[in-house]
Amino acid sequence: MNDLLKKNLNLGKIEFWAATTIYVFGLLLLLAKVSNSVDNEIWTPYRYMFNNYHLHYSYSKYFFFPQVFRYTGYYGAYLLWNFIIVPALAQKRRVAWHIILGLALLVALWGLFGITDTWLKGYLFYHKSADYVYNIVFKTNVLYALWVIMMLTFYSMVKFATRFLLSNVDKINAKYQVITRGCVIALVICMITTFLLALSEAQYELIVTFVIIALTGIGNVSFSFYSLIPATFAKNRGFFNYLFKVTGIMLVISVPIGFLTAVIFNKVNIEPVFIIGAFNCGIQILLVAPISWMIYKRNLAGKQEIVHLKTALGRSTADLDFLRSQINPHFLFNALNTLYGTALQEDAERTAEGVQRLGDMMRFMLQENMQEKILLVREIDYLNNYIALQKLRTQTSPDITIVLQIEEHVNALQIAPMLLIPFIENAFKHGISLREPSHINISLQTKENTLYFDVHNSIHPKVVNDTEKYNNGIGLENVKQRLALLYPDKHELVIRESAKDFFIHLTIQLQ
């Protein structure tokens, strides 16, 4: 139904043709019985009364034609009320005129029902006076005409409420999170069912009982999904703890519901009130609550699977992007240039050290980086190799200060691989200048299961011909994405920048 509204279909045409189909189908049913009324006795609501008074009964005279006029009255009243009177009153167009038209429709229905009822109950004229019959019939049918108008009004209310709820379900859920899309649809179904029960002239006790149970069930499901079940899961409690909470809530709200039921039914004997209350509580506790629990768990499992798939996809994409950013000619040429310059300055010992560290780093990127989690100590080894490799090209400059406070013993904590290196890379890329004083301070500490990581470096303006002038750093956006995917609500990243300094502070709760 919501899809129909979104596609802007003409619901008025659907209503018109549905009402016309029902009207024509009703006439065809009456006609089908006319052909058999000569040979077979067709049962009608008042035929037995004619038989009791030994009166001749004509199906056409005492049932077919009165019912045709009644069906036509129902059909015409529906069209006039639904397509003319109600839309005009809703839009406040010629209100007085359409109120008068509504009253005229009520009088017309009263007259139609009264006249046709004198034929349906024609047996009354054979043992009662005409004045008595007309008095009884028209008094009865004024109430019936009011009931028909009330049903038409009820239908209009249900239609407009349904259209409003379904077309604004997202806005309602955004403003009131406890009211989900399923609750709105259930409320619409409840309204439609109540209308059908009233239209079928069901006992009002049945209608009231249905409404009480349905509204209580909708509230039960909404509150369970919004608060009770999430709170139960948060405290690692089970189903029976949730069921105990629902039972307590049902016992509490049974008091106002029982009082309301007693007022509606106007019963001196409170036994029916207790029966309805017990029936309602039983349905909510034994049926609605378990179903809500199962649906919530199924939805939660589905959401967790979606989150896991998104995380895996995001991590794979981020890791691939990171590898592409790491294993590129720019990085390799810088490393080779560093080794070449070192080899020219002194003997092969430092060169060998550089080659070894570079090999360790490449091996780490190609092997351990493919794992979901690695030991934090292995990540620290990679950081140390990278920093040592960078020092090979900076240690000859007395104006470059690199201060490390990296904890070596970090127990058995694990971390996603290549998560910290982008910050250090960024520090060496933007914080080191061979022509100006530069500094980099790196701190990595752990306390219990929490990692504290700080990088503070100087900033130097890029030269005009620097190809990396407009590049904001390798992997910073990538690592933000990975942190959001891998450590949601378990990390804090603070980045501050001034004209001459760049500072990051990262806290991660590791498992």
Give the chain's mean pLDDT: 79
Q: CB neighbours of 44 closer than 8 A, spacing ≥ 6? A: 59, 62, 63
264 versus 368: the higher-pLDDT residue is 264
Question: Residue 423: what pLDDT?
Answer: 92
Q: Which string of b and e fits 52-71 if b means at least 16 CB within 10 Å?
A: eeebebebeebbbbbbbebb
What is the Cα–Cα distance from 470 to 466, expressed in whole angstroms? 9
Residue 367: exposed, middle, or buried by beta-carbon count in 10 A (0-12, 13-18, 19+)?
exposed
Burial of 354 (0-12, 13-18, 19+ CB in 10 A): buried
Contacts of 132 (CB under 8 A, 6+ apart): 124
Q: What is the pLDDT of residue 314?
A: 64
Could you read off the pLDDT of 477-502 as tens digits, one per residue?
A: 888 888 888 898 899 999 999 888 99
pLDDT at position 5 is 41
Q: In whole angstroms, give the CA distance from residue 109 to residue 100.
A: 14
Q: How far apart are CA 277 and CA 284, in angstroms?
A: 11
3-class secondary-structure state, position 290: helix
Q: 3-state class of 434 per DSSP?
A: coil
Q: How confident is the model at residue 50 (pLDDT cuts 50, 70, 90)?
A: confident
Task: Report pLDDT for 429.
Answer: 85
Return the SS3 of 89. helix
Handedness of CA 331, 333, 335, 341 (dihedral sign): negative
With a CB cutoff of 8 Å and minimum separation 6, the contacts of 395 are none
* Residue listed under structure tokens 């780490």: 364
User: Residue 49 and residue 120: Cα distance in Å, rounded?
Assistant: 11
pLDDT tens, position by position, 282-332: 888 888 888 888 888 888 777 777 777 766 666 666 665 655 555 444 555
pLDDT for res 263: 76
The pLDDT value recorded for residue 211 is 82
- For residue 210, the one-letter residue type is F
The answer to whether residues 387 and 441 touch, using CB atoms and an 8 Å cutoff, is no
Give 394 or 361, the one with higher predicted confidence: 394
Structure tokens at 93: 């167009």
Q: Any idea where the domains of the chain sit in the sequence? A: 1-167, 176-303, 327-509
Q: What are phi and psi of 375, to 5 degrees?
A: -65, 140
Hey, what CATH class is 327-509 in?
Answer: alpha beta
pTM here is 0.48
d(CA 327, CA 467): 18
Amino acid identity, residue 401? Answer: T
Over range 207-235, report the average pLDDT. 83
Provide mean pLDDT across the span 184-210: 73
> Would you call 482 exposed, middle or buried from its count of C-beta atoms within 10 A (0-12, 13-18, 19+)?
buried
Measure the CA angle with vertex 201, ends 200 and 203; round to 5°.
125
The whole-angstrom separation of Cα 183 and Cα 158 is 16
Dist. CA 36–CA 44, nearest whole Å: 13
Interhelix angle 130-167/95-120, rounded to 10 degrees, is 130
Q: Give the distance, in angstroms, between the CA of residue 502 and the centroid of all CA atoms in the same chain.
A: 42
Give the DSSP H/E element, type plus range, for residue 421.
helix 421-431
pLDDT digits (tens, 9 = 90+) for 74-96: 899 989 988 899 889 888 888 89
Q: Could you tell me the two tokens for 196?
A: 């059908």
Task: Please return the burial class of 328, using the count of CB atoms within 10 Å of its CB with bins 0-12, 13-18 and 19+.
Answer: exposed
CA distance 455 to 421: 11
